[in-house]
């Protein structure tokens, strides 16, 4: 019986640790400061604020891409950097400063 309790305790720690590791990544859904624009990142795949599926340069804490024609930033390189579990800096080339975007629920289309 003691062996089963130790096994269950270890399993809970492994599952809890895996969830925490995923939260420390740029992957997920992000909303602009006013909530009007949304984007989604899943590894190197992204759905831009205009709803265009593209691929970009991905690391666990950064994502860079060239905005497609339908996006407000069309043709510009956009750099994103994870600041916390709930905040990412979003900065298109030429912008005077980065915007802070927040995690949000997946947009309903």
As a whole number, the mean pLDDT across the chain is 84
**Alpha-carbon span 95 to 49, nearest angstrom:** 17
Tens of pLDDT, residue by residue over 9-36, are: 433 333 334 333 446 899 999 999 999 9
Residue spans per domain, the chain: 26-103
Q: What is the pTM assigned to this prediction?
A: 0.76
Q: Is the pLDDT of residue 86 over 90?
A: yes
**Alpha-carbon span 87 to 63, nearest angstrom:** 13
The pLDDT value recorded for residue 105 is 86
User: Which of 48 and 107 is assigned the larger pLDDT?
Assistant: 48
Architecture of the structural domain at 26-103: Beta Barrel (2.40)
């Amino acid at each position: 019986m003691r062996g089963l309790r130790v096994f269950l305790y270890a399993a809970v720690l492994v599952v809890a640790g895996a969830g925490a590791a995923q939260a420390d990544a740029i992957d997920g859904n992000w909303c602009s400061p006013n909530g009007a624009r949304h984007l989604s990142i899943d590894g190197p795949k992204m759905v831009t604020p205009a709803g265009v599926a593209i691929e970009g340069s991905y690391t666990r804490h950064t994502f860079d891409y060239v905005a497609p024609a339908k996006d407000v930033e069309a043709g510009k390189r956009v750099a994103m950097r994870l600041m916390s579990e709930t905040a990412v800096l979003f900065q298109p080339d030429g912008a005077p400063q980065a915007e802070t975007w927040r995690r949000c629920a997946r947009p309903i289309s």
